[in-house]
């Protein structure tokens, strides 16, 4: 049960991390590149990525954003929440599988912690 909750949290965070990229890309593209660059700077430092890993991680994250944009383009408002969550879960699982091929177990654990931290920062405080 704990793994399931953790996995769901990662999915939600993955969606939260990519959504701003998509919004910025619709506004002109330059902001999205800066946002991905900022994420990559954080991840490169945190995970101590070498150049090859950094390149592969960037490609994976860019592909995830492109895939999400394509899957949801035109579907907003016409798709129920459960269907959207299922798509997001599947996409995040695919992304994590690809990242696990590039990152060591220790790096993957740090990445998951970073994702959880990002999720906490995006949550509105409880009043």
Model pLDDT for residues 57-70, shown as the tens digit of each residue: 999 999 988 888 88
Torsion over CA of 15, 63, 46 and 85, rounded to 10 degrees?
Answer: 20
CB neighbour list of residue 40: distance below 8 Å, 6 or more residues apart: 54, 57, 58, 61
**What is the structure's pLDDT at 60?**
95
End-to-end CA distance of the chain: 28
DSSP 124: P
Whether the predicted pLDDT of 21 surpasses 60: no
Q: What letter does residue 27 receive in the DSSP assignment?
A: T
Average pLDDT score, the chain: 78
Q: Is residue 122's pLDDT more than 90?
A: no
How confident is the model at residue 28, as a pLDDT? 45
What is the mean pLDDT of the segment spanning 105-118? 90
CA-nearest of 91, 102, 54 to 69 is 91
Q: Which pLDDT score, from 0 to 100, does residue 106 have? A: 96
Q: What is the pLDDT of residue 9?
A: 57
By the 8 A CB rule, do 3 and 105 touch? Answer: no
Structure tokens at 60: 């994976």
Grouping H, G, I as helix, E, B as strand and the rest as coil, residue 43 is: helix
pTM of the model: 0.67
Q: State mean pLDDT over 80-97.
A: 83
3 vs 58, residue with greater confidence: 58
Compute the half-sphere exposure of residue 124: CA atoms within 13 Å on the CB side of its CA.
Answer: 2
């Amino acid at each position: 049960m704990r793994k399931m909750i953790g996995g769901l949290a990662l999915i939600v965070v993955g969606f939260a991390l990519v959504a701003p990229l998509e919004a910025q890309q619709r506004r002109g593209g330059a902001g999205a590149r800066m946002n991905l660059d900022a994420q990559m700077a954080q991840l490169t430092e945190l995970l101590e990525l070498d150049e090859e890993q950094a390149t592969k991680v960037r490609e994976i994250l860019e592909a995830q954003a492109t895939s999400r944009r394509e899957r949801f383009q035109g579907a907003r408002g016409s798709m129920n929440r459960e269907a959207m969550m299922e798509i997001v879960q599947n996409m995040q699982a695919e992304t994590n599988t690809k990242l696990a091929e590039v990152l060591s177990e220790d790096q993957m654990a740090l990445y998951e912690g970073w994702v959880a931290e990002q999720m906490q920062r995006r949550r509105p405080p409880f009043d």
